[in-house]
Amino acid sequence: MPAEGKAAAPPRDRTWFILGMGFVLVSLLVAALLYLLWQEEELNVIYGRRGGVGAASVNGTAVLAGLFEQAGHRVVSVPRLTSAVTHRSDCIVWVPDSFDAPGEDSLQSIEAWLRQEPGRTFVYVGRDYDAAAPYWRAVLPAAPAAAQPLIQEQITSAEERWTKLRSWWPSESECAWFRLDYSRPPRSVDSLEGDPRWLEGVDASGLDLERTARLTPAAPRSHHPSPDVLLASEGDVLVARLWRGEGQVLCVVHGGFLLNLPLVNLEHRKLAGRLVDEIGPPGKTVVFLESESLTVADYPHTASPFAIFHTWPINWILLHLAVAGILFCFCRLPIFGRPRGLPPAAPSDFGKHIDALAELLARTGDHQHAMTRWLHFRQAREEKSLRPRPAVPELSATEPAEPSPGTRTPSRKICR
């Protein structure tokens, strides 16, 4: 039983648990900081993302989204398709990080969405492009001589990584919209043909574009018109349009002129502007789908208090605040070690008597009475200071002072 007046010591298991949780949280925070620092040093190659860390990626879509905004459209990003998202969207842009063509169920969902209202557009951008190696090739000529071997290593590493990534996927992929052939060797795009509106003002010699995969639009069905080839190069289709009712599907072979790094090129921006013009006049709602699936959820979207955790940069700010709050709670609330009682109040502290008297006077609420008592105290103190003190007889160093009557003289013990 603990002694009275003392708090019981916390269980040893609880103390070790708190220490362990604090160590884990600190370790996670340090790991996150190191990861962010490492990300700053490495080239950002996250593919097909408009927001978050993917916005600064050479393979991101933030610049393309900016072109839609400059054209007067409203642009949003969603992690998945829901019935509410598809209901309010006029154009969906999908840049998947996959070489596989969409599945049949996904295509039927998108075609049903296109037929619901006229003038809707779905943009599909193929995966057969990576901007890492072109970035390092562009950096190499302006780099100092000492850094060029390192940049050449980065070029080789990026090319090997890209070759390995493409080897994991089959040589071709097919769906009801198109067929992609990855078996042909890449070649540079030196000439363009197709829709005159796409070719107007574009200098093909200024392009820095390669034809990698071969895009072949599917043969038209009985109730579908023939596809339109909007942009091609020496017979290889780069952009094709498929009609589905009064809606359209724009199939782009890859993001070689739509991603962040390629859009540094002026001629690429002109081609991207032609793609933006295809969705119609300003005022449309353009949705960038950042998901690997086209499946539309069959439940209605309801407002959720947790939706803010999916919005950049609020989600990262709240995450850091939550971690800081948890660390503050662990530092502030627990008692580590054996508890100790507070020192008792000293009864000889005259200041406490003054405080107690002041509190009593304050409780009366009578200001005049309190001032009267204070003036009385000052007057008594001044009279005491003016009163003459009695003379004290001086004692010689050799004569002991006589004890006053009634004073007990201490006895002395003689040790023998």
The residues, ordered by sequence, that sit 6+ positions from 209 with a Cβ below 8 Å of its Cβ are 188, 189, 256, 257, 262, 268
pLDDT(341) > 60: yes
Count CB neighbours of 33 within 10 A: 10
* pLDDT of amino acid 16: 64
Give the model's confidence band at 306: pLDDT under 50 very low, under 70 low, under 90 confident, else very high: low
Task: Please check whether residue 154 is in contact with residue 166, taking contact to mean a CB–CB distance below 8 angstroms.
Answer: no
Which pLDDT does position 93 carry in this prediction?
96
The residue to which tokens 């009801």 are assigned: 176
Q: Are 136 and 155 in contact (CB under 8 A)?
A: yes
pLDDT at 412: 47
209 has a pLDDT exceeding 50: yes
Residue reference for tokens 């890859």: 254
Confidence (pLDDT) at 219: 79
Q: What confidence tens digit (pLDDT) does each residue in 139-193 have? A: 999 888 888 899 999 999 999 998 888 888 888 889 989 999 988 888 899 899 9
pLDDT single digits (tens) 68-119:
999 999 999 998 888 888 888 999 999 999 888 888 888 888 998 998 899 9
Tell me the two tokens of residue 401: 């002072």
> Which ranges of 168-238 would DSSP assign to H, the alpha helix?
196-199
Confidence class of residue 377 from pLDDT cuts 50, 70 and 90? confident
Q: Dig out the tokens for 180 from the structure.
A: 């992609």
Residue 101 has which token pair? 């063509």
Report the amino acid identity of residue 68: F
3-state secondary structure of 193: strand
pLDDT of 260: 94
Q: Are 173 and 179 in contact (CB under 8 A)?
A: yes
Q: How far apart are CA 39 and CA 246, in angstroms?
A: 45
**pLDDT, averaged across the chain:** 81
Contact 278, 248 (CB under 8 A): yes
The residue with greater pLDDT, 412 or 370, is: 370
| pLDDT of res. 416 | 41
- The arithmetic mean of pLDDT across residues 55-70, rounded, is 93
For a pLDDT cut of 90, what percent of the chain falls above it? 33
| Sign of CA pseudo-dihedral 222, 228, 232, 237 | negative
Which contiguous run of DSSP H or E holds residue 21?
Answer: helix 12-41
Confidence of residue 18 (pLDDT cuts 50, 70, 90): low
